[in-house]
Structure 1
Amino acid sequence: MSGVRTSRSLGGRGGLASRLLLAQVLVLGASVVTAGAVAALFGPPLFHEHLLEAGQAPDSPQLAHIEQAYRDASLVSLAVALVIALACAAAVTWYVTRRMQAPLDALANAAREVSRGHFGARVGPLGAGTEFDELGHAFNLMARQLEQTEDTRRRLLSDLAHELRTPIATLTVYCEGLRDGVTTWNADTERVMTEQTERLARLAADLDDVSRAEEGRLALDLSPTPVPELIWSAAEARREAFARQGVELHVRPDAAPDVHVEADPRRIGQVLDNLLANALRHTPRGGAVQLSARAVHDAVEIVVADTGDGMSADQLPHVFERFYRGDTARDRDRGGSGLGLTISRAIADAHRGSLVASSAGPGEGSTFTLTLPCA
């Protein structure tokens, strides 16, 4: 039925075929009227002058008949030309609309499927010219992006429910225990309740940061900032945590001692803190993490490299996705909220920079490179 509706719209009242035919008729009509007016105004005087030059007497009775024959012949020629032109225009209109009908039907049907929520709808090669092929490619790209957005939304809702389940369940159990007298309020109870409420608050704050960053609503207070200052501040904030876990932290800003970047120190500090926390989380006792910087052309690369778990080739493409964790057990106490790297990349993008990850494989450590433009 959809194909019938599209066909009617092409050839019916106000459709493409009728409008195309009307346009051609108007052009032909204007051409014929112009030709007739020119022939009527300039043809008879010129023809009369040539007859006189050919030897006809001005008062000859044959002269009037010849001129009348010329006018009749011109009128008939224009009429026949108009009829033939109209027939050709109708034939061309029919051919063009028939050629356009199939790709337009395909596009209309695919668009209708997408509007119903079937984001997997695609159009194949339309075979109606480069313009239609480009239109089909643009439509497929749009549908693919909508499909990816919908997949991300579903995965986000699923992961968010997954993240909320454990702290809510823990708080519920402790509340019921306190109400029934099974559990008493002591230091352990206070610690568990505090940890779980802080975890929920941290998750809400991280989600807000991700949303504002990816929607371009992240407020940045940009200023020329020395790279060594960024590196030393981030290292000092995490040095005690590294010492507690027995992981060495090496800081080497020597390769970019006098370089400034146009950055928001607080936000870049958040990125470096996330990267250091991630490196510490995945580096066992006795391992090492190196925080360094180097100038590359008109940019600065800040590198966080560890000797920890490393990542496989399958994990690398997903490391910046929301709630993604490389550990299959999804240990939340070790795996974090799963949003730190997502937020970090969004902040890097907001600074017109980039954040990429690399690893030689499981057990070979990981390297995260933050690139920022020089001030």
Structure 2
Amino acid sequence: MAPARTNSAGLATRLLAGQAIVLVAGALTVGLVAAMIGPPIFHQHLVESGHQQNSPELVHIETAYRDASLISVGVGLLISLIAAGAVTWFLNRRLRRPLEQVTTAAMELTRGHYSTRVPTSASGTELETLATAFNTMASRLEGIEDTRRRMLSDLAHELRTPIATLSAYHEGLHDGIAALGPESRAALEEQTRRLARLADDIDEVSTAEEGRLALDLRPHHVRDLLWAAHEGMRDAFAAKGINLVVEPPTATGLDVHVDRNRIGQVLTNLLTNALRHTPPGGTVILAANRQGEEAAISVIDDGDGMTPEQLEHAFERFYRGDAARTRDRTGSGIGLTISKALIDAHHGSISANSDGQGEGTRLILTLPLPGR
């Protein structure tokens, strides 16, 4: 708290000093102008009114005029200084507490206490704006820290299963309990591929989020992108007994300037997510339409649906808000995160909508139309 008081006292001193300098400069200017211009004009008026030049009466009147002027300027300066001191004291008292609160909160943030907030007060629009901006920054830092902690926890969880499996097989082979046969070899290869895929996915999403992703941007028909995604996932949907439907008429005439492989990867991730959450006999629809100056591609399923909390965290790394993902261990858990990073790299957006559990989910990605 001591640094905050020192800073506030310094501000008060500077305010008072600034006002005093302005007042003294004004008083000196007024006095100088009055001394140079006032006496000659006053003397001329006295002569014109009938007083004799250099008469004792004239000299006395002019001396009284000068003394009165000096006294008036001096008293005015004193009153102005007192008023300036009172205003400075008032402003200092009004500003000190909010400034102390901001300073203290900033010090708490540097210690890692991201839940710190500055209370808003009626101290003026500027200070309220500062407090609001500070609280917004603190909220974002708190969110980033929460995401980091959750990411590390989930990453450890993702790594635990393949590492435990590899460790168990390694000990079994070393102790002679297990033999390196087709089944053990397949299990080892699966867990190794899982670790490699997890590392690749983390590297890819980091590359995209940091803006280091190289894109091969070319014009493509949205209809062709939809059918390519359909062909790539058709067998997987058929194996689970889910209808995968493309609505090409809605995409007629829509062209986008994108990296075909990257957008194909995004659509595959979205379809994989829909496949995971849609029961056998359900339907997943691929559609597109124009929304203003953007092309909107939708992946709509009639499966599990999402709660408001799940929608809020749907694109965060490793977020688990449902049992389906816990049961399905084939993915790395960051498919939607990668999709968002790739769409952001294309200057587009991606969002998820759902009316609730059991009501299906609608994933929508938008891409700017050429020339926009």
Determine the C-alpha separation between the residues in 1 that align with 2:48 and 2:307.
98
Q: For residue 247 of structure 2, give the secondary structure of its aligned residue in structure 1.
A: strand
CA deviation after TM superposition for structure 1 residue 313, in Å: 4.1
What does residue 94 of structure 2 align with? 99
Indicate the residue corresponding to 2:136 in structure 1. 141
* Structure 1 unaligned blocks of 5 or more: none
Equivalent in the alignment of 2:319: 324
The answer on whether the counterparts of 2:295 and 2:369 sit within 8 Å (CA) in structure 1 is: yes
Read off the aligned partner of 1:232 and give its amino acid letter.
Answer: W
Residue 272 of structure 2: aligned partner:
277
How much has 1:195 moved relative to structure 2? 1.0
The answer to whether the 8 A contact 1:281-1:335 is kept is no
Select 2:288's aligned residue among 279, 284, 293. 293
Q: 1:355, 1:370 within 8 Å by CA — same for their partners in 2?
A: yes
Over 3 Å counting, the alpha-carbon distance change for 1:43 and 1:364 in structure 2 is closer
1:207, distance to aligned residue in structure 2 (A): 1.2
3-state SS, counterpart of residue 255 of structure 1: helix
What letter corresponds to residue 272 of structure 2 in structure 1? A
Aligned residue in 2 for 1:9: 7
Structure-2 separation of matches of 1:32 and 1:314? 66
Rounded Cα–Cα distance in structure 2 between residues aligned with 1:363 and 1:85: 74
* Distance of 2:27 and 2:329 partners within structure 1: 84
Instruction: Measure the CA separation in 1 of the matches of 2:325 and 2:274.
Output: 17
> Given the superposition, is the C-alpha separation of residues 97 and 203 from structure 1 closer, same or farther in structure 2, using an over 3 Å criterion?
same
Check whether the contact 1:235–1:251 (CA below 8 A) recurs between aligned residues: yes
Residue 83 of structure 1 corresponds to 78
Alignment counterpart, residue 58 of structure 2, candidates 54, 63, 76:
63
The 1-side partners of 2:28 and 2:292 are apart by 69
Please, which of 229, 237, 243 is the counterpart of residue 232 of structure 2?
A: 237
RMSD: 1.9
- The corresponding residue for 1:112 is 107
TM value normalised by structure 1: 0.92
Residue in structure 1 matched with residue 362 of structure 2 by the alignment: 367
Distance 2:35 2:273 in 1: 89
Q: TM-score, normalised by structure 2?
A: 0.93
Task: Specify which of 284, 300, 306 is matched with residue 301 of structure 2.
Answer: 306
| Secondary structure of 2:365 counterpart | strand
State the aligned residue count.
Answer: 370
Q: Which of 177, 189, 193 is matched with 1:194 structurally?
A: 189
Instruction: Tell me if the contact between 1:114 and 1:143 (Cα under 8 Å) persists in the aligned partners.
Output: yes
CA contact (8 A) 1:248 1:287 kept: yes
1:165 and 2:163 matched? no
Check the 8 A contact 2:173/2:180 in 1, yes or no. yes
Deviates more, 1:231-240 or 1:216-225: 216-225
Match of 1:217 in 2: 212
State the one-letter code of the partner of 2:130.
Answer: L
Change (3 A) 1:158 1:334: closer
